[in-house]
Amino acid sequence: MKNLKSRVRLLTGVTLSVLCLPASADNTLTDVAEQETLVVTANRLPETPETVIPSLTVITRADIERLLAVDITDVLALVPGIDVVRSGPVGSATSVFVRGANSNHVLVLVDGVRVASGNTGAFAWEHLPVDQIERIEILRGPRASLYGSDAIGGVIQIFTRENQGAYASVSAGSYRQVEASLGHGQDFGDGRGHVSAQIGGLGSEGFSATNATSWFYHPDDDGYANLNASLKARWQTDWGVSRLSYLETRGDTDFDQGNSDSSHRTLGASIQVNGNNWRHELLFGANQQDLYTKVFQSRFRSERLSADWLVHRDFSPRHGLSLGLSWYQDLSQIGLTAPHRRNLTDKAAFLNWRGQWGSQRLEAAVRYDDFSQYDGQTTGNLGWSLQATPNWHLGASLGKAFRAPSLNEEFYYQLGGNGNQGFPLFPEKSLAGEINLQHRIGDQAQWRASIFKQKITDLIQFVPAQPSDPFSPYLPRNVAEADMLGLELDAQWRPGHWDIRANATIQDTLDKRADAPLLRRPDRKASLLADRSWGNFSAGVTLFGASKRADFGTQLPGFATLDLRFHYRINRHWRAGLKIHNLADRDYEVASGYNTPGRSGWLQLSWQQAQ
C-alpha cells in the first residue's frame, strides 16, 4: 500500500505543477456545437437513442463532471432500475444489481471488451476510475441474443476517454483523499488519425469499513490506492476505420484482516470496413485480472481472449440484417503453491433483423452458444415500437437470457466432485419482458415509464453436499428461482437556466426458494437532481432516498441523503468545483455491518486546453 500511495502522491505533485503553469486568462467561453448522439450497445451498430426499443440510459462525460463524481457508485446509483452496494469506503467491494438481478447478471463491456472476472463472473466496479470514462451506455433488459452469457439484467458498456488536447485535474477532500489525472490527445495524418493517453491516481485514508455489528469488526481506517492508465488510437481510411484501446488499473485495498492487491488490464482492437450498404467488423479483446490477498495466502487470476466478426447489411433505409460470429476463452488459476487451473470456451453465432413500416419498428434476434463444458444455449429477443405521434412513443420487448457458471463455481464443483459428491452445473436461465412509454413535451421536457417482469430459474446457490447433514461441505447447485416485477419512472425538465432530472424505481423481488425478498435490493428508490446556472457559476443539489431492504439475518431501514455541488468556470481553460456529500450527516447502511460515508467534502480544480 505504501508504495502505491507514494506513486499517487508523486502523480498529484506533477499534476499540481502542470496546473501552476501560466495560461491565458481570457474569460471568453467557447461554445461547442452539439453533435448527434449515437449509441451502439443495443444492436451492436450505431443508431440514435430514439430507435432503441428497450430502456436505455446514456451517461456522458458532462454528467460525470456535473456530479463531481468521486466513485462510480456516485453515478450508477442515480440510474433507474439500478441498485449499488459498496461494502465500506472507496475501493471496497461493490455490487451492481440491474432490475433486481444478481451482480453477475449484468454484462459489462469496456470499449467493446468483456471485463467481468472469469472466476467470479462479476466486474470489479470498485477499481474503475471515473476520470477515465467518456460515456456509459446502460441497456436494461436481456440481450443474450446479441452478447451471450451474463446479459440477463442488462448490458453496461463503458467507453474510455479520447482527449482533445491537453487535460489536467487534481482533487482533494475528506478522509485525506486525493486524486489526480493527466491526459493529452492529438490528431495526426491530416486529421485521419487520433491518439490519446491518460494517467491517473487516487489515494485515500478511508474510514473503518465495518462497524460493531460485524463479526470481524476492527475500528481502524481502511485505505485505498489506485493507479490507472489508458491509451486510445484510431485511424480513418477511405475504406473504414481501425481502433485500439487499452486500460490498466492497479488497486491496493485495506480491510480489517489485511489488504488485497489487484490489477486489471483490458485491450481491445477493431477493424471496420465499410461498403455502400454493408459493413464488416473484426473485434479482438483481451482481459486479465489478478487478485492477491497475502493474509489469506490466496490468489485468483483470470484471463479472457475474445474475437468477434460482425456483418451488417442494409437492404433499404428501413430494413437491415446483422450476422455475428463470436468466440471467447476463459482461463483461471486459483491458489499459490498448487494452483487449480480451469478453462472454458464459447463459440456462438447470431442473427439480428430490424425493420420499419411507417411509424412501427420491429426487431428479432436469435443466437446459439456452444460451450466446452455445458449444453448449448439458444436465446432470442423480440421488440416492437410505435411512434404514435411525434411526441409519443410506445415500445415492448421480450427476451431469453442465461449465465454460464463461473470458473469459481466450477472449481468448487470439481473440489466436491471427488468421490462423486459434486452436483453437475448448468447455466442459469431467464425470461423477461418490458413495456415502456415515452413522451416529449416540446424541447424542454420529457418523461419515460417502463414496466418490467423477469423470471430467473436454475439459480446457483451453495448448499450442503449432503442435504441431511448441514455440516457437510457446501457446494454450488442449480436449486433456486427468482421473480422480479417493477416500474421505472424517469423525467427531465429544462426551463430556462434550470436542469431538473428525477427518477424513481418501484420493484418487488422474490427468492422463491426462501420465500423472501432478494437481499440488498430496496423496494423503492428515487433521486432528484436540480441545477441552476448563472453565467460562469452553477449550483446543484442531489436528493437520494431508498426504502428498507433485506440483508443476511436482518432488515436495514430506509434512508435519504442530500448532496450539494458548486461549479465555477474561471475562464475557457480553468474550472473549479466543490461537492458536499451527505450534508445532514445521516448514519445508514446499504450492507449489514458495513459503514457508509458521513458528511464529507470534495474540492476539484481542472484545466483543459482550449480547442
More confident residue, 419 or 307: 307
pLDDT of residue 119: 84
Statement: residue 37 has pLDDT above 50: yes
More confident residue, 411 or 388: 388
Q: Nearest 10 degrees: CA dihedral of 344, 373, 409, 469? A: -160
Number of separate domains in the chain: 1
Per-residue confidence band for 143, with pLDDT thresholds at 50, 70 and 90: very high
Per-residue confidence band for 34, with pLDDT thresholds at 50, 70 and 90: very low
Which has the closest alpha carbon to 551: 31, 83, 7, 54?
83
Could you give the CA distance from residue 55 to residue 141 in angstroms, rounded to a whole number? 7
| Residue pLDDT, tens place only, 503-537 | 999 999 999 999 999 999 999 999 999 999 999 99
| Residue pLDDT, tens place only, 210-239 | 999 888 888 889 999 999 999 999 999 988
| The length of the chain, given as a count of residues | 611
Q: Is 20 exposed, middle or buried (0-12, 13-18, 19+ CB in 10 A)?
A: exposed
Alpha carbon distances (Å) from 130 to 69, 103, 264, 340, 435: 7, 19, 15, 34, 32
Encode 466-483 in three state secondary structure: CCCCCCCCEEEEEEEEEE
The fraction of the chain above a pLDDT of 70, given in percent, is 91
What predicted TM-score, i.e. pTM, was given to this entire model?
0.94
Statement: residue 142 has pLDDT above 50: yes
Could you give the CA distance from residue 203 to residue 192 in angstroms, rounded to a whole number? 38
Q: Nearest 10 degrees: CA dihedral of 76, 77, 78, 81? A: 90
Residues β-bridged to residue 291: 262, 300
- Those residues whose C-beta lies under 8 Å from the C-beta of residue 232, and which sit 6 or more positions away, are 111, 160, 161, 162, 194, 195, 196, 197, 243, 244, 245, 246
pLDDT of residue 527: 98
Q: Let me know: does 436 contact 449? Beta carbons within 8 Å.
A: yes
Per-residue confidence band for 466, with pLDDT thresholds at 50, 70 and 90: confident
Per-residue confidence band for 442, with pLDDT thresholds at 50, 70 and 90: confident
Alpha carbon distances (Å) from 236 to 265, 270, 418: 26, 12, 56
Per-residue confidence band for 26, with pLDDT thresholds at 50, 70 and 90: very low
Which has the closest alpha carbon to 238: 310, 189, 165, 195?
189
Residue 564 sits in which domain range? 2-608
DSSP conformation class of 351: E
DSSP conformation class of 130: G
For residue 604, give the CATH number of its domain.
2.40.170.20
| Residue pLDDT, tens place only, 166-224 | 999 999 999 999 999 999 999 998 889 999 999 999 999 999 999 998 888 888 899 99
Span 391-397, average pLDDT: 97
Statement: residue 17 has pLDDT above 60: no
| Residue pLDDT, tens place only, 239-259 | 899 999 999 999 999 988 788
Beta-carbon neighbour count of residue 265 at 10 Å?
17
